[in-house]
Structure 1
Amino acid sequence: MPKVLTAGRPWRVILLFAVPLLVGNVVQQLYQAADAVVVGRVLGVDSLAAVGATGSLLFLLLGFAWGMTNGFAIPTAHAFGAGDHAAVRRSVAAGTVLSAATSAVLTVAAPLLAGPALRLLQTPEELLPEATTFAVISFLGASTMMFFNYLSAIIRAIGDSRTPLVFLTISCVLNIVLVVTAVAGLGMGVAGAAVSTVLSQGVSVALCLAFVRRRVPVLHVPRAAWRVDAVELRRHLRLGLPMGFQASIIAIGALAVQVRLNELGPDAVAAYTTAVRVDGLAVALLASLGLAVSMFVAQNLGGGRPDRIRRGVVQGMGMSVVGSAVLGVVLVTGGSSIIGIFVGEGERRVVDMAAHYLLVNGVLYVVLGVLFVLRGALQGLGQTVVPTMTGVIELVCRVGAASVLGAAYGYGGVVWGNPLAWIGAVVLLAPAYVAAQRRLALQPVTGDVGEPLAVRPPRRITRIRRRGPSVRRARRSRVPSA
């Protein structure tokens, strides 16, 4: 149910909001891992590598859609924090229109580009047929992913992070059942895995719509609100497009990595694919804290509470650093055992290569935790330039690692792309956030997200001084005697 994030201890509010996101991301990663286990063990390492070869391409387009829908929800959170329910409904209408338009473009264009794009990425010929099948089906079902992400984002924008978790869990359990049935039972191959994902996400969309209709009146859009004007659309695009492009820029770096991996052979592709699935569990946990901080900042921006924004970001940073250190220790010490779950016997080389990836990334998870919190805070403040620039920095670092370090050191050089990207991004984000906090304390209020917010005047603190004995004696002297 709707919940304001503008009251209560910041760390507690952020943590309670983040926990369902954490669990949801773990559930999502687990069902993706279940896909990998089923495909890898039933169909073999080559089929697992074929699915993995599509990862960067899917991330390029679907990641753009995911980032953009989260951007569309920021004005919704701002309006809800300000208590303006009419603005909430206008924001929902604008985001829905833009999400529908993006879904239509992806559904029509992306399947036609899948095959040529995979060839351009130098996907090994033995992997190309299955990789193309998986990508085409995934793109045809892009609208289900798009609308589930958008509906989840606007529900979270009004302070409810639990309900999307429930629907996501139902979707993930359904997906696992469908994957086992389609791949292991019906023999549909990688096509069965892709179809299962699309169907399960379609069910989650239906559940979200039913919940909003029955339980969340603030998100009901009246007929008049659907006449969205150009100003409202531009306002949402100003936040949604940079967040989408940021994800796409990162994906371009992943594409460069994929090209290098394809040149190194199927074992490298399979190892990297498996390691990314395991690494994704840890990254998802840290990303959840970043998203929680973003929604917290957005609502408090609308509510005029810059003091809470500052304290919430600092406390969120502390939680993220501790969590990332624990995750790093787990993956560094137990990486090989975890990787062994995904691949069958006799694939020791794949296991060793994947475990090396987890070692390099796990040691530097603390940097990633700081990155997510700072970037989430800036996005919640409505800033788009610096977060987008961090995407460019990550692109340069990943491409550099793939092309330079990959050429010199092979697979061992490629895996350094992520840590270098994280370090480069934090170097830009830290001073940008400090500058944003200083401006937040000085600039006047305006009505829109991303524009300056006035700081409330400082509360006048009245100190109550204890009256000394001379005062008490004077008072007694004025009391008439009996």
Structure 2
Amino acid sequence: MADQDAPAAGARPHQRDLTTGPIGKTLLAFAIPTLGSSIVQSLNASINSIWVGRLLGEEALAATANANMVWFVLIAFTFGFSMATSILIGQAWGRRDVEGARRVLGTAVTFFFGVGILVLIAGELAAPDLLRLLGTPGEALPLAATYLRTFLLGTPAAVVLVALSMALRGSGDSVTPLYFMLLAAALDVVLNPLLIAGIGPFPALGIAGAGYATAIANWVALTGLILFAYARRLPLTLGGRDLRFLVPDRGQLGTIMGKGLPMGLQMIVISVSSLAMIGLVNAQGVETAAAYGVTMQLWAYVQMPAMAFGAAVSAMAAQNIGAGRWDRVDRITRIAIIQVTVITAALIGLFILFEKPALGLFLGMDSPALPIAIRIQWIATWSFLMFGLVLVLFGTVRAAGAVVAPLLILAVGLIPVRLGFAGGAQGWLGSDAIWWSFPVGTIVNLVLAWLYYRSGRWRKAKMAPTT
């Protein structure tokens, strides 16, 4: 049932009605804060790695890298669940069904907090075993276990914070999540050296201090977001009789898990493909491995616009689908394709223009790995233009509830095609086969994604009703 008190467009400074107005301007204004959140998180991780490496050394840096990978595997599915939450809320918001959106939010908050607690307990009990499964070097294992156990203390807050951020984006607010990503990152960056080295009144906790810093930052940011929501009376805020929505609704929970699982599996597919690719690269020798590692640092930033616009398209399309504005959905997709192509092309051009100093910053201008890194960039980096188009198409079809086809398309492009080409074509391309596998796999993904989008089958998919 639609809520008569549904907020009008512009009723809140950061709340956008994504079903009306000029699509290009609205989409860009909505996507930029999402892109900002991704940049903040990446910079936060990079700066924390610098602190750990400089203050504790290479063993500690390796320990945190391994522990972070274990943590990522443990929570990978929550990304899919949070995306499903965002789409459900977006569709409800498009129908002006505020009560339905709040019902989804209440179920999601309780579910994500429960998942966070389970991950915390499992990680605390099995930290050393999980790290051994990953192949963590023996000398780094005790440090990694210590870091993981302290880092895990912030997991319930971290997953709920992500869920609330995705929920807000589903309701048309991408700015408020950026504020609290900034808060979490700033606290993390400041607390890391204080707790690692024991500066001022703070205890010297070593690598445990790095874990505690992140955990504290997540809990403070989550608390701040909740207080802000109530102080500003954000439309999704649960109060009074709406607090009953914190008792999970079986139907909503089933949809979040059923639709979120395939999206979470995509993170697993990406991780498996990445690990296998690293194995192929390592077989080429240490210089090639170093060159690839540095190139990946730059690629992390090149692909950010694609990820931000994919998420923005998903939220915007979901609202319009909920409002029955199918005429706008195709236009949103077309405009997003243009915008993400222009922004990604500009970034790639910038990196190519300054490739030697950018890569040399990590490797040194005299490094024998530098020419290899430059070759990798010239062969593979342009494929991220197509990757952006794939994520925009995926964002649109997911907004309707079609989540299995994107998973299958991604799996085909990344595993049999990319990995198959990287390994099978080395007989005639040498190590270049690994780098050419990126555009080859992405072309296959793009063709399949476009064919599925054009077929229109995704329009028949359904998310569970929010009432």
Shorter-chain TM range is 0.7 to 0.9
Alpha-carbon distance change, 412 to 196 in structure 1, aligned in 2, over 3 angstroms:
farther
CA gap 1:270/1:204 in 2 versus in 1, 3 angstroms: farther
CA contact (8 A) 2:423 2:433 kept: no
Alignment-derived partner of residue 299 in structure 2: 279
Q: Within 2, Cα distance between the matches of 1:237 and 1:52?
A: 29
3-state SS in 2 of match to 1:145: helix
Rounded to whole Å, the distance in 2 between the matches of 1:182 and 1:422 is 43
Asked whether the 8 Å contact 1:167–1:207 carries over to 2, the reply is yes
Equivalences for residues 466-477 of structure 1 within 5 A: none
Offset, 1:110? 3.2
Question: Which AA in structure 1 matches 2:395?
Answer: G
C-alpha contact 2:380 2:439 (8 A) present in aligned 1: yes
Q: Distance in 2 between matches of 1:384 and 1:313?
A: 17
Superposition pairs of residues 298-377 of structure 1, within 5 angstroms:
298-342=318-362, 348-349=367-368, 357-377=376-396
Equivalent pair of 2:251/2:464 in contact (CA under 8 Å): no
C-alpha distance in 2 between matches for 1:160 and 1:107? 29
Name the Cα RMSD after superposition.
3.3
Distance verdict in 2 for CA 1:333–1:193, change over 3 Å: farther
**1:83–1:199 distance in 2 versus 1, CA, 3 Å:** same
Matched with 2:311 is 291
Task: Judge conservation of contact 1:298–1:380 (CA < 8 Å) in 2.
Answer: yes
Distance 1:118 1:66, change over 3 A: same
Consecutive unaligned residues of structure 1, counting only runs of 5 or more, are 452-482
Asked which structure has the greater CA Rg, the reply is 1
- 1:141-182, Cα deviation, whole Å (9 max, x unpaired): 322220110011111111011111111112212222122334
Task: Note if 1:82 corresponds to 2:95.
Answer: yes
Moved more, 160-169 or 264-273: 264-273
Give TM-score scaled by structure 1 length: 0.81
Instruction: Give 3-state SS (helix, strand or coil) of 1:141's partner.
Output: helix
Choose 263-272 or 8-17, whichever is displaced more. Answer: 263-272
Q: What's the CA shift for 1:407?
A: 10
CA offset at residue 360 of structure 1?
Answer: 4.1
In 2 relative to 1, CA 273–65 (structure 1 residues): closer, same or farther, beyond 3 Å?
farther
Question: Partner of 1:378 in structure 2?
Answer: 397
Does 2:167 correspond to 1:147?
A: no
Number of matched pairs: 444
Report if aligned partners of 1:77, 1:295 keep a CA contact under 8 Å in 2.
Answer: yes
> Which residue type is aligned with residue 213 of structure 1?
Y
1:71 offset after TM fit, Å?
A: 1.6
* Cα separation, 2, equivalents of 1:113 and 1:332: 44
State the one-letter code of the partner of 1:392.
A
Matches within 5 A, 1:159-308: 159-183=172-196, 188-215=205-232, 216-220=234-238, 222-259=242-279, 272-308=292-328
Unaligned runs of 5+ in 2: 1-11
How does the TM-score come out when normalised to structure 2?
A: 0.83
Shift of 1:183: 4.2
1:1-52, Cα deviation, whole Å (9 max, x unpaired):
4321000111111111001111221122112221233334444555444444
Q: Could you say which residue in structure 2 is the equivalent of 1:35? A: 48
The structural deviation recorded for 1:401 is 6.3
Q: Which amino acid aligns with 2:237?
A: L
User: Given that residues 31 and 176 in structure 1 are in contact (C-alpha distance below 8 angstroms), is that contact kept between their aligned partners in structure 2?
Assistant: yes
Distance 1:218 1:50, change over 3 A: closer
The 1:174–1:69 alpha-carbon spacing in structure 2 relative to 1, beyond 3 Å, is: same
Mapped partners of 2:441, 2:213: distance in 1: 33
1:234 alignment partner, SS class: helix
Deviations 1:391-418 (A, max 9, x none): 3222444554676578999976655565
8 Å contact 2:81–2:264 — kept in the other structure?
yes
Whole-angstrom distance in 2 between the partners of 1:110 and 1:265:
34
Distance 1:217 1:419, change over 3 A: same
Q: 1:171 to 1:302 in 2, by over 3 A?
A: same
In structure 2, how many angstroms separate the alpha carbons of the residues matched to 1:341 and 1:210? 42
